[in-house]
């Protein structure tokens, strides 16, 4: 009896001991990671690309799930995927010309099709399509040549592979739940991520998506994120990790992502605690029309003015805008998207100084516009033309020395009260996307 008690005690101590050893210390970003974060935060504008065999169905990237198609039937599209007009250089040129500083590409979306030559699965663009070209490789080369930062989107979920334990999506694609094998799937993902981080040069970030697939599980699902994040940081210490999990940031992450919303807002209904904005670099992703992947019926594109205003508002929140385009099945970017990119580029060439390298202004975005800050200058972006000729009151934190119209020598009279509230009158001006006033401290 005594012996048994002693053994139980020994076992208990061993367990406690084991636990404390296994506990990982909180993530400490390396110096190069911190530098990479700062560079990223200054970039302000990136292009998101959702491209895969789903573009052939032309109904968005969720087609496999939404249509309830059997995964083996869906996979037949791979054998017809021949995007003969794909030209990575042309894409990158268009993004550069638009003023974008980085590109985030879907290497493998929820449908499970890999857009590079992976050794971990035959279901990839080189082995399973007649195109036989490594799209990730070509895009990486074009980005590196053009000094364009490359981020890679990677889905944590897979609607095709049997080993991925399905959550609340991908239940109608014909997978057998009894074949789920998390350990096997986790190993597969880590092999793929290792390929992506060792074969294509410098990768600016890995952008995870799919965590929410298990948000309704009765027993919390363990994604084993931290060891995966550590592996990424070991392979490329400067590579940032972001996860579109719609929750507060988790240990090991370097940036915070917001889907279809400005940080702290929850108009799209994805974030439960809308206000949990961290101090990490922030990024808002948004579609140019209504869908991420190519959708033939969706011609509801945002106008150049709307995109620029979105960029102003994200910058006014201190965040980056990751603006999405769904390339066509032939490999071209939709003409409307290209036209919008041109317009945004034209605006940024003239006013980019008030966006790139800025942080949030003293006041968060308002219905009339937003404020960005660079050093001792605050750029007051007035996007509501109805304000022309009207007085404007700003609640600032800093003492103002001078106020002028951006890009001119025109000084504006102003009053600042003791509590730093600034009052001025917006000059009358012709209709414009954005009327900018420079406030100097």
* Cβ nearer to ligand GLC, comparing 203 with 285: 285
* Cβ nearer to ligand GLC, comparing 241 with 285: 285
Nearest-approach distance from CB 286 to ligand GLC, in angstroms: 9
Q: Is 309 in the site for ligand GLC (CB under 6 A)?
A: no
Contact 129, 79 (CB under 8 A): yes
Those residues with Cβ within 8 angstroms of residue 59's Cβ, 6 or more apart along the chain or in another chain: 66, 67, 295, 296, 297
Nearest-approach distance from CB 114 to ligand GLC, in angstroms: 15
Query: From the list 100, 206, 255, 285, which residue makes contact with ligand GLC (rule: CB under 6 A)?
Result: 285
* Cβ nearer to ligand GLC, comparing 157 with 396: 157
Those residues with Cβ within 8 angstroms of residue 224's Cβ, 6 or more apart along the chain or in another chain: 186
List strands edge to edge, sheet with 414-416: 391-395, 421-425, 414-416
Structure tokens at 167: 């959550």
* Residue 213: φ, ψ to 5°: -60, -30
d(CA 103, CA 114): 18
Q: Is 111 in the site for ligand GLC (CB under 6 A)?
A: no
Structure tokens at 336: 């409307």
Q: Is 54 in the site for ligand GLC (CB under 6 A)?
A: no
Nearest-approach distance from CB 110 to ligand GLC, in angstroms: 6
* Cβ nearer to ligand GLC, comparing 94 with 285: 285
Q: Is 259 in the site for ligand GLC (CB under 6 A)?
A: yes
Q: Are strands 377-382 and 435-440 parallel, antiparallel or unpaired?
A: antiparallel
Give, in order, the Cα–Cα distances in Å from 80 to each of 53, 75, 130, 434: 9, 10, 7, 45
Contact 123, 130 (CB under 8 A): no
* Cβ nearer to ligand GLC, comparing 74 with 292: 292
Q: What angle do CA 63, 184, 198 make, to 5 degrees?
A: 80
* Cβ nearer to ligand GLC, comparing 129 with 244: 244
Contact 313, 305 (CB under 8 A): no
Across-strand partners of 45? 321
In the shown chain, the binding pattern of residues 57 to 86 toward ligand GLC, with x for contact by CB under 6 A and - for none, equals: ----xx------------------------
* Cβ nearer to ligand GLC, comparing 134 with 209: 209
* Cβ nearer to ligand GLC, comparing 155 with 366: 155
Nearest-approach distance from CB 294 to ligand GLC, in angstroms: 12
In the shown chain, the binding pattern of residues 167 to 206 toward ligand GLC, with x for contact by CB under 6 A and - for none, equals: ----------------------------------------
| Nearest alpha-carbon partner for 278 in 321, 247, 237, 305 | 247
Query: From the list 55, 59, 107, 244, which residue makes contact with ligand GLC (rule: CB under 6 A)?
Result: 244
Q: Classify residue 232 as exposed, middle or buried by CB count within 10 Å of its CB (0-12, 13-18, 19+).
A: buried
In the shown chain, the binding pattern of residues 131 to 170 toward ligand GLC, with x for contact by CB under 6 A and - for none, equals: ----------------------------------------
* Cβ nearer to ligand GLC, comparing 175 with 381: 175
Contact 92, 135 (CB under 8 A): no
Structure tokens at 52: 């895969």
Nearest-approach distance from CB 400 to ligand GLC, in angstroms: 39
Contact 308, 344 (CB under 8 A): yes
* Cβ nearer to ligand GLC, comparing 209 with 438: 209
Nearest-approach distance from CB 61 to ligand GLC, in angstroms: 5
Nearest-approach distance from CB 150 to ligand GLC, in angstroms: 17
What does DSSP assign to residue 115?
S
In the shown chain, the binding pattern of residues 12 to 51 toward ligand GLC, with x for contact by CB under 6 A and - for none, equals: --------------------------------------x-
d(CA 308, CA 303): 9
Nearest-approach distance from CB 210 to ligand GLC, in angstroms: 7
Q: Is 292 in the site for ligand GLC (CB under 6 A)?
A: yes
Q: Is 53 in the site for ligand GLC (CB under 6 A)?
A: no
Structure tokens at 272: 């439960």
Interface with ligand GLC: number of residues (CB under 6 A) = 8
Nearest-approach distance from CB 50 to ligand GLC, in angstroms: 6
* Cβ nearer to ligand GLC, comparing 285 with 382: 285
Q: Is 209 in the site for ligand GLC (CB under 6 A)?
A: yes
Structure tokens at 46: 């990136």
Q: Classify residue 362 as exposed, middle or buried by CB count within 10 Å of its CB (0-12, 13-18, 19+).
A: middle
CB atoms near residue 146 (< 10 Å)? 14
Q: Which residues of the chain form contacts with ligand GLC (CB under 6 A)?
A: 50, 61-62, 209, 244, 259, 285, 292
């Amino acid at each position: 009896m005594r012996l048994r008690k002693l053994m139980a005690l020994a076992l208990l101590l061993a367990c406690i001991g084991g636990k404390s050893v296994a506990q990982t210390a909180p993530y400490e970003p390396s110096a190069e990671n911190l530098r990479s974060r700062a560079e990223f935060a200054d970039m302000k504008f990136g292009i998101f690309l959702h491209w895969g065999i789903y573009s052939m169905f032309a109904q968005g990237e969720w087609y496999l799930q939404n249509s309830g198609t059997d995964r083996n039937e869906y996979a037949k599209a791979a054998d017809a995927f021949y995007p003969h007009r794909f030209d990575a250089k042309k894409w990158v040129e268009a993004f550069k010309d638009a003023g974008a500083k980085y590109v985030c590409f879907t290497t493998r979306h929820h449908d499970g099709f890999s857009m590079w030559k992976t050794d971990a699965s035959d279901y990839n663009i080189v082995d399973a399509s007649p195109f036989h070209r490594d799209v990730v490789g070509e895009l990486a080369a074009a980005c590196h040549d053009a000094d364009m930062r490359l981020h890679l989107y990677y889905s944590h979920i897979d609607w095709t592979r049997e080993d991925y334990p399905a959550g609340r999506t991908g239940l109608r694609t014909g997978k057998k739940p009894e074949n789920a094998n998390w350990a096997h799937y986790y190993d597969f993902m880590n092999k793929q991520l290792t390929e992506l981080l060792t074969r294509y040069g410098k990768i600016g970030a890995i952008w995870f998506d799919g965590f929410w697939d298990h948000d309704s599980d009765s027993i919390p699902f363990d994604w084993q994120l931290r060891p995966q994040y550590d592996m990424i940081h070991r392979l490329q210490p400067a590579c940032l990790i972001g996860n579109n999990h719609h929750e507060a940031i988790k240990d090991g992450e370097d940036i915070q992502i917001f889907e279809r919303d400005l940080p702290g807002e929850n108009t799209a209904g994805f974030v439960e605690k809308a206000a949990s904005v961290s101090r990490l670099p922030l990024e808002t992703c948004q579609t140019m029309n209504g869908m991420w992947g190519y959708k033939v019926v969706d011609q509801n594109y945002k106008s150049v003015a709307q995109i620029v205003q979105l960029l102003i508002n994200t910058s006014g929140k201190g965040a980056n805008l990751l603006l999405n385009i769904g390339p066509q099945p032939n490999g071209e970017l939709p003409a409307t998207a290209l036209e919008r990119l041109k317009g945004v580029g034209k605006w940024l060439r003239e006013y980019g100084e008030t966006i790139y390298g800025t942080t949030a202004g003293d006041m968060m975005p308002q219905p009339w516009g937003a404020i960005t800050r660079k050093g001792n200058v605050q750029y007051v972006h007035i996007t509501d033309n109805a304000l022309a000729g009207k007085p404007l009151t700003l609640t600032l934190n800093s003492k103002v020395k001078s106020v002028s119209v951006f890009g001119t020598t025109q000084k504006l009279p102003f009053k600042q009260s003791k509590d730093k509230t600034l009052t001025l009158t917006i000059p009358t001006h012709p209709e414009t996307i954005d009327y900018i006033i420079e406030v100097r401290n």
